[in-house]
Amino acid sequence: MSKTITIDGNTIPFEDGQTIMEAATAAGVYIPHLCHHPEFTPHGSCKLCTVKVNGRICSACTFPAMEGQDVLNNTKELTDDRQLITQMLFVEGNHLCPGCEKTGNCQLQAVAYHLNMLDNHFPHFYPNREMDASHEDVLIDHNRCIFCTLCVRASQQKDGKDVFAISGRGINKHLIFNSQSGLLKDTDLDATDQAAQICPTGAILIKRTGYQVPIGERIYDHKQIDQVSLETEHHQHDK
Amino acid sequence: MKQFIQDLAETNRYQATHLLHILRGVQSRFHYIPEQAIEQIAELLKISRTQIIGVIEFYSFFHLKPRGQYELLISDSITDHMLGKQSLINYLSEKLTVAVGEVRQDGVVSLDNTSCTGMCDQGPAGLVNGYALTRLDRTRIDQITDLINQQKPLDQWPGELFQVEDNIIEPGLLLSQSINQGSALQSAFKRGLKETLIELDKSGLRGRGGAGFKTATKWKFCSEEQGNQRYVICNADEGEPGTFKDRVLLNSYAHRVFEGMTLCAAIIGAQQGFLYLRGEYLHLYDKLQSVLDERRQAGFLGNNILKEGLNFDIEICLGAGAYICGEESALIESLEGKMGIPRNRPPYPVTQGYLGKPTVVNNVETFIAAASIAVKGGDWFANVGTEKSKGTKILSICGDCSRPGIYEYPFGTSIQSVLNDCGARDVLGIQIGGPSGTFISNKEFDRKLAFEDLATGGSFIVFNNSRNILDIVNNFTHFFAHESCGFCTPCRVGTALLKKQLDKIVEGHGSAGDVVALEELCQLIKTQSHCGLGQTAANPVLTTLERYPELYQSQLKNISYEPGFDLDGALETARRLAKRNDAGAHLAQVEE
Amino acid sequence: MTNKIRVATTSLAGCFGCHMSFLDIDERMLQLVEVVEFGRSPINDIEHCTDCDIGLIEGGVCNSENVHVLREFRKNCKILVAVGACAINGGLPAMRNFIPLEECLNEAYINGIGVENAQIPSDPELPLLLDKVRPIHEVVKIDYFLPGCPPSADVFWKFLTDLIDGREPSLPYELVHYD
């Protein structure tokens, strides 16, 4: 008999070593997330996947599933907090969707849509951030970086490289590149690297590929991120 | 430079875990970390340059751009402010002709603020090239200015500038009863290590850092983990503003601290220990090293300690200006040569700590208590205190009182009796446990020091009725925004937003909904943050908002909304460029 | 006087794209004017906002005139609505926030290619620019937000009919987009 936890009252099975996120995804339950990706070591930083486990706040992507857990995921309280956290990400950087190639295919935007976020609520920081267009095939727009470290992890864990890192402290955090000049062109990044493809926002873009999919056919035009996420990540968790 | 770094790396055995040691060396020699140094260190330690840059940009005491040959930092603790810090730093800036945050043109001196340096009983305080300066006043600043302008080496500066007092005013159970060097280990071996752990359990000792986890249980868990490598870490990253008791304990009770660590090593089976000393306490470093040497010579450290087959030694690691490293898993990351970012838990350090091995992390005071308990037995300790909080607590008392310093009290002591002892009069309130703790008002002085009532890591700041609560809260809120590691969204963005929102209210630009918005933000940061820093960063606002709601409300204007930025100021550039100053070139902050 | 619901609209630092999109409700406009009449709006050239039920604001705040107009709307509208990306987060005009204003003005009026008689306009009739473009919720209190660049005609229709029929306005997934 397999072990189980409950999520919002529904019993779902889990295996030892699975996180709550992994057990939920395998059972077809979506928990919002941005810094999590099934192929990489969980990070636990965006805090969108916060759930309540037996009354205690935990990050579903890092917290192990254990017998006897009653997990709350889809509650008004958690959804409200998740919306505020998403709004924080929007005001922290410069997310001007109408001018971004990633629009329609952007996970940050899609999570916000999913949470029915209609405004940014907080005052904007409008930080002065640079772009790095030095690389032949890949463009970095720091304005859109949310410090999820997916590119950092993908480069290390998948590409066998070490192109990206997050540096700095607090609100001054920023993405840096592993080259003496500090420029992306002097790293060994290729456009085909998973690190170049994995950005959940428009911070890392492959040049000359923007706006190729017409409006109406983009990933999140008709499907919500919960559905897309479960379709694409379910099998990856099983690997 | 090349040879210097080569030697530095060699001294540190090319260990990536020693990155902070090496960077401290480079910063101290060149007053920044040059690009060539980064390249060379990356090569020698076989780590990526991005890891090094990450570390440099994470810790306040490392810099990518040159600082002055004299790096002058002034403590920004609320207690330093209460002693006139702001006018002193302005005076200093004027005398030295360097703006705060800048390097003087000739490169000789740089001036900046720094988080509390732990000299709250002898402030206003500062640091010069890492060394503590105390009791700053205009005379001393004139003196320091001359010394800097003459470019006198620090070792030729008058010693009184660096004089740090213990100020032990009220010693108690632990501080008044000394134990002989080695006696805790001897007693433990004589009694048996298992039996000693039972004594420790019987004593009821709970961690003195603030969280209050039972020490014997932590040691037991760690000893039961698989594997043969374990570590003992003493957390001396005393960064909570208003706390300085660990500084005094390390200055005058270092033997007992190390004895406690060695005792722990014997019980859990560790061979290596670390004392993580906050960078601000650099002045203690040499003294502590010589205490370690003495102990090695006396057979209390090293191989086959007391001929009982115990092999254990202790290394001292200095921090580099990051409050977050007081969080135990961030401290471990820092010890491993990385940015101090708190880990996800579980796993906890007792199962996977330093280098992934089982590790005990305890506060300085906890190790002292453990050593004394090993000698005097569990009952000796448990007979003092309350049901849930056994023994005594050592407090660092500062602020508006006539006798600031170190006080040791049995748990259960009332706040009023502490106030009587330290000479506090006309008291408005007290910050207990530092900014991350609780602000209590003068109606609550019958409350008690105890985990079950007012828990504290040791910080106890007294405010009299001349103080403005909002100034205090503002200082603390800025502190947390400055010290947030930035790992998780709610703390990284939330503490920065909280700072903005509180500034708006304090500066008198708040309107009807602004206190509600403030509280909403506080709750979010508190419930959603990754670690203790974020979870407590809103405490200054929340604990004062609960006690003085009218104070916040009275700051609000009787209008529905006021912009959080200076509207007229936002036209300044355009006015200047258009050379206009007519009525139409201005905007009222609020609609008339 | 009629019992119709009064609606006022304006565009601050916007492109009138949201207004164009509003007009895209096409023949439904006839249904709307059965129950709604317009106060100040570029649709009818009425120049000042007087007592209204609903004010629709397109565009962010980039200059002193925007502040005055926005305040006039706030004062006279029971419900004030931020319409479109620029009103909500500054939008594309906010891209100038990353260039110091002095540099912007110098480039446009002094050093730019083809500039003749170089001078920064100083006529008191002209509104002065703010150092940054701001979303309108940072200047006055806003009651509702309609995202989109522009919000589709269906967004306007859904929102207004919800309000008119006394429902709490809400937008289903298909109507929420930021581009």
Interface-testing mutation among A40, A63, A88, with chain B (most B C-beta atoms within 10 A): A88
Per-residue pLDDT tens digits for C72-116: 999 999 999 999 999 999 999 999 999 999 999 999 999 988 898
| Average pLDDT score over residue span A5-15 | 97
B interface residues, A as partner, C-beta within 8 Å: 35, 39, 48-51, 53-54, 57-58, 322, 339, 344, 346, 481-490, 492-497, 500, 520, 524, 527-530, 564-565
- 3-state helix/strand/coil string of B46-81: CCCHHHHHHHHHHCCCCCCCCCCCEEEEEECCHHHH
Residue B414 is given by DSSP the state B
pLDDT band, residue A239 (cuts 50/70/90): very low
Per-residue pLDDT tens digits for C113-156: 889 899 999 999 999 999 999 999 999 999 999 999 999 999 99
Q: Which residue, chain included where needed, has tokens 């500034």?
A: B503
pLDDT at C1 over 90: no
pLDDT at B416: 97
A interface residues, B as partner, C-beta within 8 Å: 42, 44-48, 50, 57, 59, 62-64, 81, 84-85, 88-89, 91-92, 122-123, 125, 146-147, 162, 164-173, 176-178, 180
pLDDT at B557: 85
Per-residue pLDDT tens digits for B87-119: 999 999 999 999 999 999 999 999 999 999 999
Long-range contacts of C153-157 (CB under 8 A, 24+ apart): C153/C21, C153/C22, C153/C23, C153/C24, C153/C25, C153/C26, C153/C28, C154/C25, C156/C21, C156/C22, C156/C25, C157/C25, C157/C28
A200's CB contacts (< 8 A; 6+ apart) are: A34, A106, A107, A108, A146, A148, A150
**Segment 95-134 of chain C within 8 Å of chain A by CB:** 95, 97-98, 132, 134
- Cβ B241 vs Cβ B257: under 8 Å: no
Here the CATH number for the domain that contains residue A108 is: 3.30.70.20
Torsion angle of the four alpha carbons B365, B368, B373, B376, in this order, in degrees rounded to the nearest 10:
-130
Percent pLDDT > 90 in chain B is 96
The nearest CA of chain C is from the CA of B505 a distance in Å of 15
Task: State whether residue B575 sits within 8 Å of chain C by CB.
Answer: yes
Among candidates B277, B248, B520, B494, which has minimal Cα distance to B368?
B248
- Cβ B71 vs Cβ B107: under 8 Å: no
Q: Which residue, chain included where needed, has tokens 């990306």?
A: C85
- In C, minimum Cα distance to B567 occurs at C130
pLDDT at B484: 98
pLDDT at B512: 85
| Distances B244 to B160, B340, B579, C24 between C-alpha atoms, Å | 19, 21, 54, 68
Between CA C73 and CA C79 the distance in angstroms is 9
Here the CATH number for the domain that contains residue C12 is: 3.40.50.700
The nearest CA of chain C is from the CA of B582 a distance in Å of 7
Residues of B in contact with C79 (CB under 8 A): none
In a domain, C110, yes or no: no
| Average pLDDT score over residue span B514-529 | 97
Neighbours of chain B (3+ CB pairs under 8 A): A, C
- Cβ B536 vs Cβ B579: under 8 Å: no
In a domain, C19, yes or no: yes
Domain of residue C68, residue span: 5-93+133-175
Task: State whether residue C137 sits within 8 Å of chain A by CB.
Answer: yes
Between CA C113 and CA C105 the distance in angstroms is 13
In a domain, C169, yes or no: yes
Per-residue pLDDT tens digits for B125-178: 999 999 999 999 999 999 999 999 999 999 999 999 999 999 999 999 999 999
The CATH number of the structural domain formed by B169-382 is 3.40.50.11540
The number of distinct structural domains making up chain C is 1
How many Cβ pairs closer than 8 A exist between chain A and C? 73
Return the CATH class of domain B392-464. Answer: alpha beta
The answer on A171 and A217 residing in a single domain is yes
The answer on A7 and A105 residing in a single domain is no
Using CB atoms, pick whichever of A44, A48, A165 lies closest to residue B530: A44
Between CA B63 and CA A181 the distance in angstroms is 18
Between CA C10 and CA C83 the distance in angstroms is 10
pLDDT at A1: 58
Per-residue pLDDT tens digits for B216-272: 999 999 999 998 899 999 999 999 999 999 999 999 999 999 999 999 999 999 999
In a domain, C39, yes or no: yes
Between CA A25 and CA A30 the distance in angstroms is 6
Residue B124 preceded by cis peptide, ω within 30: yes
pLDDT at B41: 98
Between CA C10 and CA C40 the distance in angstroms is 7
The nearest CA of chain A is from the CA of C89 a distance in Å of 7
Dihedral angle sign, alpha carbons of residues C99, C103, C105, C107: negative
Strand B131-133 to B168-170 pairing: unpaired
The number of distinct structural domains making up chain A is 2
Q: How many CB atoms lie within 10 A of CB A179?
A: 17
The answer on A134 and A38 residing in a single domain is no
In a domain, C146, yes or no: yes
Question: What per-residue string of b and e applies to B516-552 under the rule 16 or more CB within 10 Å gives b?
Answer: ebbbebbebbbbbbbbbbbbbbbbbbbbbbebbeeeb
B393 Rama sector, left if φ>0, alpha if ψ -120 to 50, beta otherwise = beta
How many Cβ pairs closer than 8 A exist between chain A and B? 111
Helices B364-376 & B215-224 angle (0-180, nearest 10): 90
Interface-testing mutation among B557, B568, B591, with chain C (most C C-beta atoms within 10 A): B591
Judged by CB atoms closer than 8 Å, whether chains meet at C122 and B579 is answered as yes
Q: State chain A's mean pLDDT as an integer.
A: 95
Percent pLDDT > 70 in chain B is 100
In a domain, C106, yes or no: no
Bridge partner list, B273: B232, B314
Q: Concatenated DSSP letters for B521-548?
A: HHHHHHHH-SSHHHHHHTHHHHHHHHH-
- Cβ A104 vs Cβ A218: under 8 Å: yes
Cα-atom radius of gyration of chain B, to the nearest Å? 25
The nearest CA of chain C is from the CA of B578 a distance in Å of 5
The answer on A118 and A39 residing in a single domain is no
Using CB atoms, pick whichever of B49, B322, B484 lies closest to residue A178: B49
Between CA A4 and CA A6 the distance in angstroms is 7
The answer on A205 and A118 residing in a single domain is yes
Q: How many CB atoms lie within 10 A of CB B97?
A: 13
The answer on A212 and A156 residing in a single domain is yes
Query: What is the identity of the amino acid at B503?
Result: D
In a domain, A80, yes or no: no
- 3-state helix/strand/coil string of B277-310: ECHHHHHHHHHHHHHHHHHHHCCCCEEEECCCCE
Angle at A44 between CA A40 and CA A48, to 5 degrees: 110
Between CA C168 and CA B368 the distance in angstroms is 63
Per-residue pLDDT tens digits for B261-312: 999 999 999 999 999 999 999 999 999 999 999 999 999 999 999 999 999 9
Judged by CB atoms closer than 8 Å, whether chains meet at B489 and A89 is answered as yes
Between CA B355 and CA B231 the distance in angstroms is 9
Helices B254-268 & B183-191 angle (0-180, nearest 10): 20
Domain of residue A41, residue span: 3-74
pLDDT band, residue A236 (cuts 50/70/90): low
The answer on A218 and A135 residing in a single domain is yes
Judged by CB atoms closer than 8 Å, whether chains meet at C128 and B580 is answered as yes
The answer on A69 and A112 residing in a single domain is no
Between CA C66 and CA C11 the distance in angstroms is 9
Cα-atom radius of gyration of chain C, to the nearest Å? 18
How many Cβ pairs closer than 8 A exist between chain B and C? 59
In a domain, A84, yes or no: no
pLDDT band, residue B45 (cuts 50/70/90): very high
ipTM value of the model? 0.97
| Average pLDDT score over residue span A39-49 | 97
pLDDT at A235 over 70: no
Cα-atom radius of gyration of chain A, to the nearest Å? 18
pLDDT at B328 over 60: yes
Using CB atoms, pick whichever of B563, B564, B580 lies closest to residue C122: B580
A208's CB contacts (< 8 A; 6+ apart) are: A137
pTM for the whole thing? 0.96
In a domain, A229, yes or no: no
Interface-testing mutation among B43, B324, B325, B344, with chain A (most A C-beta atoms within 10 A): B344
pLDDT at C50: 86
Q: How many CB atoms lie within 10 A of CB B69?
A: 17
| Average pLDDT score over residue span C47-57 | 91
Angle at B78 between CA B74 and CA B83, to 5 degrees: 70
Residues of B in contact with C71 (CB under 8 A): 591
* Among candidate residues A17, A43, A74, the one where a domain is terminated: A74
In a domain, A33, yes or no: yes
B348's CB contacts (< 8 A; 6+ apart) are: none
In a domain, A85, yes or no: no
The answer on A194 and A124 residing in a single domain is yes
* Among candidate residues A59, A74, A89, the one where a domain is terminated: A74
Residues of B in contact with A41 (CB under 8 A): none
Domain boundaries, chain B: 2-58, 70-162, 169-382, 392-464, 470-554
The answer on A150 and A33 residing in a single domain is no
| Average pLDDT score over residue span B341-345 | 96
pLDDT band, residue C33 (cuts 50/70/90): very high
Q: Which residue has the higher pLDDT, C44 or B294?
A: B294
pLDDT at B394 over 70: yes
| CB-count exposure of residue B139 (10 Å: 0-12, 13-18, 19+) | exposed
pLDDT at B57 over 90: yes
Strand (E) or helix (H) holding C54: strand C52-58
Q: Concatenated DSSP letters for B341-355?
A: -PPPSSSPTTTS-GG
The reply to whether domains B392-464 and B470-554 share a CATH topology is no
pLDDT at C174: 94
In a domain, A27, yes or no: yes
- Cβ C25 vs Cβ C157: under 8 Å: yes
Here the CATH number for the domain that contains residue A57 is: 3.10.20.740
pLDDT at B38: 98
| Average pLDDT score over residue span B506-517 | 91
Angle at C17 between CA C11 and CA C23, to 5 degrees: 95
Among candidates B261, B270, B222, B217, which has minimal Cα distance to B365?
B261
| Average pLDDT score over residue span B550-579 | 92
Q: Measure CA of the first residue to CA of the last residue in chain C; give whole Å.
A: 39
The architecture CATH gives domain B470-554: Up-down Bundle (1.20)
Per-residue pLDDT tens digits for B414-472: 999 999 999 999 999 999 999 999 999 999 999 999 999 999 999 999 999 999 999 99
Judged by CB atoms closer than 8 Å, whether chains meet at C174 and A123 is answered as no
In a domain, C128, yes or no: no
A18 Rama sector, left if φ>0, alpha if ψ -120 to 50, beta otherwise = beta
CATH topology of domain B70-162: Glutaredoxin (3.40.30)
